[in-house]
Structure 1
Amino acid sequence: MVPGEIAPYPLRSPRLRITPLAAADVDDFVRYRQDPEVARWQSWDTDYRVADALALVAGQPVDRLPGAGEWLQLAVRPVDGGPLHGDVAVRRCAGQPDTFELGVTLARAAQGRGIAGEALRAVLDMLFHDAGAHRVVASCDARNLPVSRLLRRVGMRHESRQLEADWFKGEWTTLDGWAVLAREWRDLAPRTVSTSAS
């Protein structure tokens, strides 16, 4: 899949339905972004507003993957409806073909239930099987141990540690880099989720 092609939404897993974030998701999205425990490790602060979320939704593609350097927020919902669990962010990396970056954020009520892993596996599966990804990367603050464990559980490799490399929220922070290649994913995870194209 190249930028501009139709993306295979919705993604479905046993408990989840994943589609691009929409205006109907904004209230739930803002609510968990304003939670200090959720915002602690993220690039935004607790003053995140509805106007910020509406601008994000208006500026992202809804039927395709992002172009080079662009982000897309995928809403993670219960398969049978209900409040937004969280989102998976997807960026197509500029300068390297078929390379994507992921991030994940869950509302506190959805944490500790395996939802983040299920959502990341669904998105990884789509990127490798439908989007032709060669490599998918992620990064996190080295102190964010729950996310480090999550990335390892879904099959990503710990590739790097950059000591005090990022000036973040008033302090130098250490970043951990994670990655998985298409060939590793094929060996690790036979396809178990479905997309609208499968």
Structure 2
Amino acid sequence: MIDFPLRTARLVLSPLAPDDREAFLAYRQDPEVARWQSWTPDYSAEQADALLAGQPAELVSEDGQWLQIGVRAQDGGLVGDVAVHSLADQPDTFEIGVTLASSHQGHGFAREAVRAVVGALFAKGAHRVMAQADARNLASARLFEALGFRHEARHRDADWFKGEWSTLDVWALLRSEWT
């Protein structure tokens, strides 16, 4: 669905590959990065290998798979990834998430990368792109607001997450709203 690589002023985006393993594993094991993510800092090399080996060849509407798109600086170094999930029960509808290594946060890379991925999804016919984030994750809220996503819902104490109930915010954008 998306023609890779995607290029921005500072980044090159393409699906994660085996060469990304060490950098990917390093930020997945960082407690500050893992804080708002579904994994924990004890993320293993075996888990990384399985994720990298299980990547789909392409992103297909309604296949229900996740594709991890590596976010690389122009010099080739991995700074993070944008995860894209094709919803199995909704045509042309995708969920996204973004993860950056701690050392690359706060420089606008997430905004630049997500903008490129969302733009590519809409250019290829996506109808809707949505995201979910813990309501305490203020950086995610700022990111989605800055990109024009609409705050659609707040699900209070709806997610049992890392040993406690958490509140989820849902953000979404339609192709007709994308500029």
Question: Higher relative CO (CA 8 A, sep ≥ 6), structure 1 or 2?
Answer: 1
Contact 2:100–2:110 under 8 Å retained in 1: yes
Deviation at 1:49, TM superposition (A): 1.2
Partner of 2:63: 68
- Structure 1: runs of 5+ lacking an equivalent: 2-6, 189-198
Moved over 2 A (4+): none
Deviation at 1:68, TM superposition (A): 1.8
With the length of structure 2 as denominator, give the TM-score of the two structures. 0.97
Residue among 47, 54, 70 paired with 2:49: 54
With the length of structure 1 as denominator, give the TM-score of the two structures. 0.88
RMSD: 1.0
Amino acid at match of 2:143: L
CA distance in 1, matches of 2:51, 2:26: 15
Q: How is 1:123-138 mapped onto 2 (pairs within 5 angstroms)?
A: 123-130=117-124, 132-138=125-131
Range with bigger deviation, 117-126 or 67-76: 67-76
Answering whether residue 7 of structure 2 is matched by residue 41 of structure 1, we say: no
Deviation at 1:107, TM superposition (A): 0.2
Answering whether residue 159 of structure 2 is matched by residue 166 of structure 1, we say: yes
Q: How is 1:113-132 mapped onto 2 (pairs within 5 angstroms)?
A: 113-130=107-124, 132=125
- Structure 2: runs of 5+ lacking an equivalent: none
Answering whether residue 96 of structure 2 is matched by residue 102 of structure 1, we say: yes
CA deviations on 1:100-151 (whole Å, 9 max, x unpaired) are 0000000001100000000000000110002x10000001000000110011
| Equivalent residues, number | 178
CA distance in 1, matches of 2:99, 2:108: 13
Identity percentage of aligned residues? 59
